A = this chain, B = another copy of it.
Amino acid sequence: FSTAIKKSLRIGLIPGDGIGREVLPAAQDAILAVGSSIPKTEFISLDAGFECFTKHGEALPQETVQALKNECDGALFGAVSSPTRKVTGYSSPIVALRKQLDLYANIRPVVAIASPGERGSKVDLIVVRENTECLYVKQEQLITTSEGVKATATRVITKEASRRIGKMAFELALGRPRKHLTIIHKSNVLSVTDGLFRETIRGIPLSDKQYTEVTVAEQIVDSAVYRLFREPEIYDVLVAPNLYGDILSDAAAALVGSLGIVPSVNAGDKFVMGEPVHGSAPDIAGQKKANPLAAIRSAALMLRYMGYPDGADRIDNAVNEVLRRGEILTPDLGGTSTTEEVTNEVVKRI
């Protein structure tokens, strides 16, 4: 899914809310520091999020979607706040963006670098999360009958989406030393939907022979979380329907020390959007405490999937160096440095 090499790049920046606005400038600095490893880069600021909704009445303006589609070669998304009470008309812009740009894979590598404790040190995995369906199709209804109030949501799993996310996962597994894939499901309860997910992915190596090298295991989601915590070393690449992938990637992030270092990309066949796995963290917003590393790593991951591995490596190596030294870190990692100090430390080493 890497795009053709270009003369110049335009990257859309959607900071969103809260610390999203504090960490995207850090990611931008990191990209600018890469210099000649990537084409000349321009940034386009785009609006979305809860504040955007309260100001303009829409959480995801169509101009943002159009700009991403027509003018950008890649994008970075910060984070958005969720209202703490039901707000009529508001709907998460990140979920909508993933769907509207058909970014069907959410790729979340979780790797221990510095010493994050006994178990965390064994974590080296990638969560490959299906990004467009499952309960995220948002088909919900509220029905009031004489028997009471009942709400329903539809969970959708298609063979097509399971197959393309499965192929993406096999592809990633093939590129790693262990070449191991674990399919996450709950087909002991959801035999039809998760049954389809599981069987479709199991079936991929039958037609795509290059994947027969990959060993395939499977786990039921509750037990997968249990084992992730107890024996993280059993995992290499995990492929999961949308909601399980959401939960599993947060669980894996907890093991390596902080959500503040875990990057992701939302990837389609033609476009990638980097996104730190953390949220908008209203509790620490505005305090210069936000860890910029997840956003910076998301920028590297974006560049990697855009076809610029050298630029990506330069950023990743700098981040790893900063983590290994462990001197300049934000409070979530036990340090006392600010977002800007950590960013400068990374930029210096790129």
Contacts and interface: CB of A to CB of B under 8 A. Distances in A.
A153 B150 contact: no
Contacts of A153: 154-155, 157, 190, 192-193
Interface stretch (A217-225, A287-295, A297-305): A217-225
A157 B148 CA distance: 11
A91 to B, nearest CB: 8
Interface in A55-103: 82, 86, 91-92, 95
**For the complex formed by this chain, how many copies does it contain in all?**
2
Contact of A222 (B92, B195, B229, B247): B247
Interface residues of A, number: 56
A305 to B, nearest CB: 23
- Kindly name the residue among A187, A191, A259 whose own CB sees the greatest number of chain B CB atoms within 10 A: A191
Interface in A206-242: 220-223, 225-230
A39 to B, nearest CB: 36
Nearest to A163: B148
A4 interface: no
A270 interface: no
Given A160-B148, A196-B151, A226-B259, A189 B86 contact: no
A249 B157 CA distance: 26
Contacts of A178: none
A41 interface: no
Contacts of A141: 192
A161 to B, nearest CB: 9
17 contacts: A82-B187, A138-B189, A138-B190, A140-B190, A148-B158, A148-B160, A151-B156, A151-B192, A151-B196, A152-B155, A222-B247, A223-B250, A223-B279, A225-B247, A225-B250, A226-B259, A228-B254
